[in-house]
Every structure is written in structure tokens, then in C-alpha cells.
């Protein structure tokens, strides 16, 4: 009985921590949505692009870890700049769906560029954090929890706190919220829309890079990251598109549910149900609470 | 049920005749290389058919869906099982029934569209994509307990006659595509299509004018999935000649989405233009890579470049011409016509007018 409980705890904690990895991807999404009401479908591609560039700098040019990270972050700022200039500004007054489709196109461009520049083979990324159980926890609590998972959880927590403070208490954050609420009104009172957009896309790029490092250390830096990042979408639906805490809670729910379902119900169906379970969970949320747990209720006017 | 094949104008009949002469007489007489049939014409017809399905739900009804490949898989595997287990049904019967089975999935996964739209709906339809592929993959019954993972498709036999040569398969695809395209054009023009477009342009207004949202949306999803299902069956039986769930992964869904958007949302001919472009462009790019650069550029780089170009075109079209290549073609035709005839102000105006897209 105790063993079973321990096993359940292990599955649950593992799921929760894995969920923070989804949260990290979802975070970049929320950032852009909060500031520009744009669904950035290319967030997954940004994760792939940034971490592949990071690996490329380190492995092909032998640039040291920290410098490579900074270079990759700068590259994401450039991507943000180009996106603002070439994609978002011309689509300023376009409908939501049009912008969404343009970001799908942007995702394709980023994936293609990354592969053209750095090749298609799977790269290993070693962060110096092992993906194996931490001995101390294994000895004392009898739980096998990966060090990488714990790091991902901590990084996610730090980023949430940072972003939360940024949005809530700084002038920039106020500007971001104003733009999200009504871009026209915000720019009429002198909030520099261009800068805000650039800032948000750069921030989302850096968040993508961090998420990419975590994912890359676990699964290798490869194209499949883009598909994994798709799971950030159900996370967002559960948490709400405009809520930073929502992205975290959503990630935790998805991570925990998919692991628990996989371990306890999966065997009856031949396994691998985690491929679709998050989406089905998202559908149930859509039916009963379309705005997500923490999202603002969307009121459509005729 | 209203009469189906009755709303054609003289112009349509001329267009139809030209297309038929081209595809039935000219192509088979002048193209004899198998490559053209097996690698270009057959997949083009199949994917164009699937794109029409995507058009119905996305271009006409305005519902952002991203699960076309899932419904194609449902159709393909339904076809395999029907031919295997209910041989009396025959090829055409099986094709129709597998379309209907895909339509049932379409209804099920289209239901969320009643409550949500935009990216929310996209996520809901992604569920269908992943669920259907998983289901086929995990339950051996669908694959007749074949352990290799790839099943060879049965030969096509219609009324006792085998259709196994590339040319014969081309004609099978052509016949099915023609019938379903004509049907789709009719639906789009008739009250069904008017309802779809009313829902697309302003669902609340449509509802207040007496268009049932439930009926219209579910109908659009069902018909869309039917088209995708039939297309998937043809795709597996005439093009791939094998069945494996991996062939219908999310990448194919994205491909069909691109065909639909680049071709031109809310047009039937756009489906054919878009499918042709997405299929032919990589062929062209590879030819350029091989003949101009003599293989100096790696094939993987070429496919990456292709991806960049598709994505870039998507952005460019969204910015400059959200109605896609079909609209460009229309504009071009108008301009040529107004150049040829004396300056006709009305046609010039209508060609310049961009419809605002909701």
C-alpha cells in the first residue's frame, strides 16, 4: 500500500515537473498574447530555432556556454525585431485569424532557416544537469525525481515571478497591459507601440530559448521539439491565454494528468495516450470554461 | 433535397468542357511517362479533394480547423477494412461508406465549434488529428493485426475490372474528384453555401436571421470530413498504395492548410491551384538544385529552403492578398479582359476592390 502510494506520488511529481516544461513554452505564448492579443503559433518554432542556434554556436564555433547563450538571446531579439517590422506592422489592422495564419507561416520560416543553417541531425545538449534521479531525494523521501525536472521547475518559477513583477509593478508592464487592452488608445496617449512589440517579442524569444534548453537537454535538440511545443496549446486553453499564473497551473495540470492517465489507464489502451489526452482535456475545458481557469472572459459584441 | 446538378451557367459549362477535354483527352495522349501520373497528377487530385474539404470548413464556414489528415486517415483505413471485410460493397460503395465514416468523426470533433472559434477551435481539432492516428495505431483490428506497420493497399477493382495501371488510377481519381468538385460548387452556390458564408461573415447576425448555427456548422464539418475521408482513401489506394498512420501525421494537415490558404480561402478552384503549387514547387526547386547547381546544394537544405519559402509566401499573402492565388488569378483575368476590350469601368473597379476579410 505504501509502495503504491509512493509510486503514485512519484508519477504525480514527475508529471507536475514535466508539466513545468510545457509551462515554459506556454509562457512565451502568454507574453505575446497579453501584449498584443496575437496568437503566436510560431512559439514552438522559436523554441526550436533558438536552442538550435545556441547548440550551433557552442558546437560548431566552440563558443563558451555563457557567451553562446547571450548570442542566442541576441539572435532572438533580432528575430523579434524582424517579426515586428516585417510581419506584425503590416498586419496591424488585420483580423485575428489572419495574424494567426501569418504566425503559422513565420513558424515555417523559422524552422526552415534553423535547419538550413544548422543542419537536420539531432544534437545533444549538455547543461551539466543530469536527467537522472537526485540521490538525496531518492534516499530520504524514496521518490525518484530527475534533477533536470527540478531545475526546469525552479527556472519556471523564477521566470514567472520575474514576469509577474514586470507586468504588475513596472512602467513597461503598465504599458504592455495598456497595449493589450486597446492598442489604438494606448498609442494615442504616447505609448510607443513599436518598442512595446519589440520588447515583448524579444522577451518571448528569450523565454523560448530557456524552454528550448530544458527540452533540448531532455529529448535532444531536434525537429520533434516543434510538435512537443504544440502541447503548450492545451496548456493555454486550460490556464487561459492571458494569464501568466494560468500558464503554470495549466502546465502542471496537463503534465500531471497525462502522466497519471498514461501510467494508470494507458496500459488498457495500449499506451501512448499522452499524445492526445491533453487535447481532449482541453476540449472539456473549452466546453465548460472556454476562457480557461484564469483568463479574462471574452465578450464578443455584434 | 434540392436538385444537385442544376445551377450551372453557360460559362461554367464551357469551363467544365475545357477541363474535361484537357484531363480526359489531352493529358493521356501527350503524357506517357508514369512519373507524371504516379507522382504528380494522382496526388494532386487527391490532395485537391482534401483541400476542398478544408475549404468547406475553413474557407466557407470560417472555422479554423487543423485536422484534415486525421479525417483522411479515417477514410483510408475505413476503406481498407471495408474492402477486406465487406467485399460485396465494391470499390465505389466502400469509397462512399468510408467517406461517411470520416464524416461521423467530423461531426464528433466539429461539435466544439459550437462553443469556440479561432485558435481555440484549432486546438480542439488537433485532438481529432492525434486521436484518430493513435486509435488506428494502437488497435490492431484496424490494421488487420499486421505487425509490420505498413499494409499494402488492395488492388482497385470496379465492376470486376482491375484498375492497376497509373493511367487507370488517374482516371479513377479524376472521376471521383470531378463528381465531388461539381457537388461542392453546387453546395457553395446554393442555400447550403450561403448559410456557411453567413456563419463565416458574422455568426450572430446569421443566427438572428434564422440560420441554425448547430445545423450549419455540424453540416460543414461532416461534409468537410467526408471529402477528406474520400481523398484519404484515394490517397492511400492510388498514390501511396500502402496504409500507414504515419503518412497522415500533423505535417500533412499543415500542408493541406497551406494549400487551402495559399490557393485562396473560400474558392473551389483555389483548392486545385494551391494543391498544384505546394506539390509542384518542391519538384521545381529540386530540379533547379540538380540542374543549375548540379547537386552542390544538399537535399536537406533544399527542403529547408522550400519550407522558408512556403512560410514566407504565407506571410506575404496574408499581408497583401489574404484571398490567395485564386484571387490573383481573377485579378489577372480581369485586367487582361479590360485591356483587351475597351476600358470597362465597372470590371476595373470590381477587380481593384479588395473584399475586407472578417
**Which residue's entry shows cell 488569378?**
B329
Partner-chain contact B315 A95, CB within 8 Å: no
In this complex, which of A97, A275, A300 lies closest to B130 when CB atoms are compared? A275
Q: Is residue B308 part of a domain?
A: no
Q: Please give the average pLDDT of every successive group of 10 residues along chain A, which has 302 residues.
A: 79 83 87 82 92 90 89 93 89 85 93 89 77 70 74 84 85 84 84 85 91 84 82 86 84 88 80 82 82 69 53
Cα B291 from chain centre: 31
Alpha-carbon separation of residue B158 from A283, B43, B161, B164, B261 (angstroms): 41, 20, 5, 11, 35
Q: Is residue B15 part of a domain?
A: yes
Among chain B residues, the shortest Cα distance to A271 is held by B138
Helices (H), chain B: 10-20, 27-30, 34-35, 42-54, 68-85, 90-110, 118-138, 166-189, 191-201, 203-208, 213-234, 250-263, 269-291, 299-320, 324-340, 345-352
Q: For B134-157, how does the pLDDT look when each residue is reduced to its tens digit (9 = 90+)?
A: 888 888 888 888 777 678 888 888
Q: Is residue B290 part of a domain?
A: no
Alpha-carbon gap, residue A297 to A299, rounded angstroms: 6
Q: Which residue of B119, B203, B301 to mutate against A (max A Cβ within 10 Å)?
A: B119
> To the nearest whole angstrom, how far is the Cα of B261 from the nearest Cα of chain A?
9
* Range list of β-strands (E), A23-125: none
In this complex, which of B119, B300, B311 lies closest to A109 when CB atoms are compared? B311
Cα B180 from chain centre: 11
Provide, as residue numbers in chain A, all residues whose Cβ is less than 8 Å from the Cβ of B312: 105, 109
Q: Which residue of A25, A40, A89, A108 to mutate against B (max B Cβ within 10 Å)?
A: A108
Q: Which helix (H) or strand (E) holds B243?
A: strand B242-243
Rg (C-alpha) for chain A, rounded Å, is: 20
Alpha-carbon gap, residue A175 to A163, rounded angstroms: 14
DSSP string, B319-356: HH-TTHHHHHHHHHHHHHHHHHSS--HHHHHHHHPPPP
Q: Which three cell numbers stand for residue B139?
A: 488497435
pLDDT at B241: 87
pLDDT at B1: 41
Alpha-carbon gap, residue B267 to A89, rounded angstroms: 28
Q: Is residue B70 part of a domain?
A: yes
> To the nearest whole angstrom, how far is the Cα of B130 from the nearest Cα of chain A?
5
Alpha-carbon gap, residue B129 to B68, rounded angstroms: 8
C-beta neighbour count of A116 within 10 angstroms: 20
Partner-chain contact A276 B131, CB within 8 Å: yes
Query: In chain B, which residues touch A (CB < 8 A)?
Result: 62, 64, 112, 115-116, 118-120, 122-124, 126-127, 130-131, 134, 137-139, 202, 204-205, 250, 254, 257, 261, 300-301, 304-315, 318-319, 322, 357-358
Partner-chain contact A300 B308, CB within 8 Å: no
Residues pairing with A285 in the sheet: none
Nearest CA to A200 out of A76, A24, A66, A45 is that of A76
Instruction: Please enumerate in sequence order all residues whose Cβ is within 8 A of that of A86, keeping only pairs 6 or more positions apart, or say none.
Output: B315
Partner-chain contact B112 A101, CB within 8 Å: no
Provide, as residue numbers in chain B, all residues whose Cβ is less than 8 Å from the Cβ of A279: 123-124, 126-127, 130-131
In this complex, which of A39, A106, A234 lies closest to B311 when CB atoms are compared? A106
The answer to whether the beta carbons of residues A36 and A28 sit under 8 Å apart is no
Partner-chain contact A109 B308, CB within 8 Å: yes
pLDDT at B3: 46
Number of folded domains that form chain B: 1
If you ran DSSP here, which 8-state letter would residue A132 be given? S
Domain span at residue B173 reads 10-250
Note the pTM of the prediction, 2 decimals. 0.88
Q: For A93-150, how does the pLDDT look when each residue is reduced to its tens digit (9 = 90+)?
A: 888 888 999 999 999 999 999 998 888 888 888 777 766 777 776 666 666 777 877 8
The answer to whether the beta carbons of residues A280 and B127 sit under 8 Å apart is yes
Alpha-carbon separation of residue A255 from A21, A277, B41, B153, B341 (angstroms): 9, 10, 44, 38, 65
Q: Provide the ipTM.
A: 0.86
Partner-chain contact A272 B134, CB within 8 Å: yes
C-beta neighbour count of A187 within 10 angstroms: 15
Alpha-carbon gap, residue A229 to A50, rounded angstroms: 13
Alpha-carbon gap, residue B58 to B67, rounded angstroms: 11
Partner-chain contact B308 A275, CB within 8 Å: no
Provide, as residue numbers in chain B, all residues whose Cβ is less than 8 Å from the Cβ of A270: 138-139
DSSP string, B168-222: HHHHHHHHHHHHHHHHHHHHHHSHHHHHHHHHHH-HHHHHHTT--HHHHHHHHHH
Q: Which residue of B265, B310, B318 to mutate against A (max A Cβ within 10 Å)?
A: B318
The answer to whether the beta carbons of residues B72 and B244 sit under 8 Å apart is no
Burial of A125 per CB tally in 10 Å (0-12, 13-18, 19+): buried
Alpha-carbon gap, residue B305 to B290, rounded angstroms: 14
Provide the 3-class DSSP secondary structure of residue B151. Answer: strand
pLDDT at B2: 47
pLDDT at B93: 93
Q: Which helix (H) or strand (E) holds A23?
A: helix A2-36
> To the nearest whole angstrom, how far is the Cα of B206 from the nearest Cα of chain A?
11
If you ran DSSP here, which 8-state letter would residue B88 be given? G
Alpha-carbon gap, residue A22 to A97, rounded angstroms: 24
> To the nearest whole angstrom, how far is the Cα of A21 from the nearest Cα of chain B?
19
Residue-level pLDDT, tens digit, chain B, 358 residues: 444 455 667 777 888 888 888 888 788 878 778 888 888 899 999 999 999 999 999 999 999 898 899 999 999 999 999 999 988 888 899 999 999 999 999 999 888 888 777 888 888 888 889 999 988 888 888 888 877 767 888 888 888 888 888 888 999 999 999 999 999 998 998 899 999 999 999 888 998 998 999 999 999 999 999 999 999 999 999 998 888 888 998 989 999 999 999 999 989 989 999 999 999 998 888 888 888 777 677 778 888 899 999 999 999 999 998 888 988 988 898 888 888 875 555 555 555 555 555 4
C-beta neighbour count of B138 within 10 angstroms: 17
Provide, as residue numbers in chain A, all residues whose Cβ is less than 8 Å from the Cβ of B126: 230, 233, 279
In this complex, which of B64, B304, B312 lies closest to A115 when CB atoms are compared? B304
Provide the 3-class DSSP secondary structure of residue A250. Answer: helix
Among chain A residues, the shortest Cα distance to B203 is held by A302
Provide, as residue numbers in chain A, all residues whose Cβ is less than 8 Å from the Cβ of B112: 283, 286-287
pLDDT at A138: 67
Q: Which residue of A40, A52, A83, A104 to mutate against B (max B Cβ within 10 Å)?
A: A104
Strands B161-163 and B156-158: antiparallel
Provide, as residue numbers in chain A, all residues whose Cβ is less than 8 Å from the Cβ of B311: 104-112
Amino acid at each position: 500500500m505504501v509502495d503504491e502510494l509512493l509510486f503514485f506520488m512519484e508519477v504525480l511529481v514527475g508529471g507536475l515537473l514535466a508539466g513545468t516544461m510545457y509551462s515554459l513554452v506556454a509562457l512565451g505564448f502568454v507574453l505575446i498574447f497579453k501584449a498584443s492579443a496575437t496568437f503566436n503559433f510560431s512559439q514552438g518554432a522559436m523554441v526550436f530555432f533558438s536552442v538550435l542556434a545556441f547548440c550551433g554556436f557552442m558546437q560548431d564555433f566552440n563558443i563558451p556556454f555563457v557567451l553562446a547563450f547571450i548570442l542566442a538571446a541576441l539572435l532572438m531579439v533580432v528575430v523579434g525585431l524582424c517579426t515586428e517590422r516585417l510581419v506584425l506592422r503590416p498586419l496591424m489592422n488585420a483580423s485575428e485569424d489572419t495574424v494567426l495564419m501569418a504566425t503559422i507561416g513565420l513558424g515555417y520560416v523559422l524552422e526552415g532557416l534553423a535547419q538550413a543553417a544548422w543542419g537536420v541531425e539531432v544534437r545533444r545538449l549538455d547543461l551539466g544537469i543530469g536527467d537522472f534521479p537526485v540521490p538525496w531525494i531518492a534516499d530520504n523521501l524514496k521518490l525518484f525525481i530527475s534533477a533536470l525536472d527540478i531545475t526546469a521547475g525552479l527556472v519556471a518559477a523564477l521566470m514567472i515571478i520575474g514576469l509577474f513583477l514586470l507586468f504588475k509593478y513596472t512602467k513597461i508592464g503598465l504599458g504592455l497591459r495598456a497595449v493589450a487592452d486597446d492598442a489604438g488608445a494606448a498609442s494615442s496617449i504616447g505609448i510607443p507601440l513599436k518598442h512595446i512589440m519589440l520588447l515583448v517579442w524579444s522577451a518571448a524569444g528569450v523565454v523560448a530559448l530557456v524552454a528550448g534548453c530544458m527540452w533540448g537537454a531532455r529529448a535532444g535538440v531536434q525537429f520533434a521539439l516543434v510538435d512537443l511545443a504544440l502541447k503548450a496549446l492545451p496548456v493555454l486553453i486550460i490556464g487561459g491565454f492571458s494569464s501568466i499564473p494560468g500558464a503554470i497551473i495549466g502546465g502542471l495540470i496537463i503534465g500531471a494528468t497525462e502522466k497519471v492517465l498514461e501510467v494508470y489507464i494507458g496500459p488498457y489502451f495500449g499506451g501512448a495516450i499522452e499524445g492526445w489526452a491533453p487535447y481532449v482535456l482541453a476540449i472539456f475545458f473549452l466546453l465548460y470554461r472556454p476562457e480557461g481557469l484564469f483568463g479574462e472572459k471574452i465578450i464578443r459584441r455584434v | 433535397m434540392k436538385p444537385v446538378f442544376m445551377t450551372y451557367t453557360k460559362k461554367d459549362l464551357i469551363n467544365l468542357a475545357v477541363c474535361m477535354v484537357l484531363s480526359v483527352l489531352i493529358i493521356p495522349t501527350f503524357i506517357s511517362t508514369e512519373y507524371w501520373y504516379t507522382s504528380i497528377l494522382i496526388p494532386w487530385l487527391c490532395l485537391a479533394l482534401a483541400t476542398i474539404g478544408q475549404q468547406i470548413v475553413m474557407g466557407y464556414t470560417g472555422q479554423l480547423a487543423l485536422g484534415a489528415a486525421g479525417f483522411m486517415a479515417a477514410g483510408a483505413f475505413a476503406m481498407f477494412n471495408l474492402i477486406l471485410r465487406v467485399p460485396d460493397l465494391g470499390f465505389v460503395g466502400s469509397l462512399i461508406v468510408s467517406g461517411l465514416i470520416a464524416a461521423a468523426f467530423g461531426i464528433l470533433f466539429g461539435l466544439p465549434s459550437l462553443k469556440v472559434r479561432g485558435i481555440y477551435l484549432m486546438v480542439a481539432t488537433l485532438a481529432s488529428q492525434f486521436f484518430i492516428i493513435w486509435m488506428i495505431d494502437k488497435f490492431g483490428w484496424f490494421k488487420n493485426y499486421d505487425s509490420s506497420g505498413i499494409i499494402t493497399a488492395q488492388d482497385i477493382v470496379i465492376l470486376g475490372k482491375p484498375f492497376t495501371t497509373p493511367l487507370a488510377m488517374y482516371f479513377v481519381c479524376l472521376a471521383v474528384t470531378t463528381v465531388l468538385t461539381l457537388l461542392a460548387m453546387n453546395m457553395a452556390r446554393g442555400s447550403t453555401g450561403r448559410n456557411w458564408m453567413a456563419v463565416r461573415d458574422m455568426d450572430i447576425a446569421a443566427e438572428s436571421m434564422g440560420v441554425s448555427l448547430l445545423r450549419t456548422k455540424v453540416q460543414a464539418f461532416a461534409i468537410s470530413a467526408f471529402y477528406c475521408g474520400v481523398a484519404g482513401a484515394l490517397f492511400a489506394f492510388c498514390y501511396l498504395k500502402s496504409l500507414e498512420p504515419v503518412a497522415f501525421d500533423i505535417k500533412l494537415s499543415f500542408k493541406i492548410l497551406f494549400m487551402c490558404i495559399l490557393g485562396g480561402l473560400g474558392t473551389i478552384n483555389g483548392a486545385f491551384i494551391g494543391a498544384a503549387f505546394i506539390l509542384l514547387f518542391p519538384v521545381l526547386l529540386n530540379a533547379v538544385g540538380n540542374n543549375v547547381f548540379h547537386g552542390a546544394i544538399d537535399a536537406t537544405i533544399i527542403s529547408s529552403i522550400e519550407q522558408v519559402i512556403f512560410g514566407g509566401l504565407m506571410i506575404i499573402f496574408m499581408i497583401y492578398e489574404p484571398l490567395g492565388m485564386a484571387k490573383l488569378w481573377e485579378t489577372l483575368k480581369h485586367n487582361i479582359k479590360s485591356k483587351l476590350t475597351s476600358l470597362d469601368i465597372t470590371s476595373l473597379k470590381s477587380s481593384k476592390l479588395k473584399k475586407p476579410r472578417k
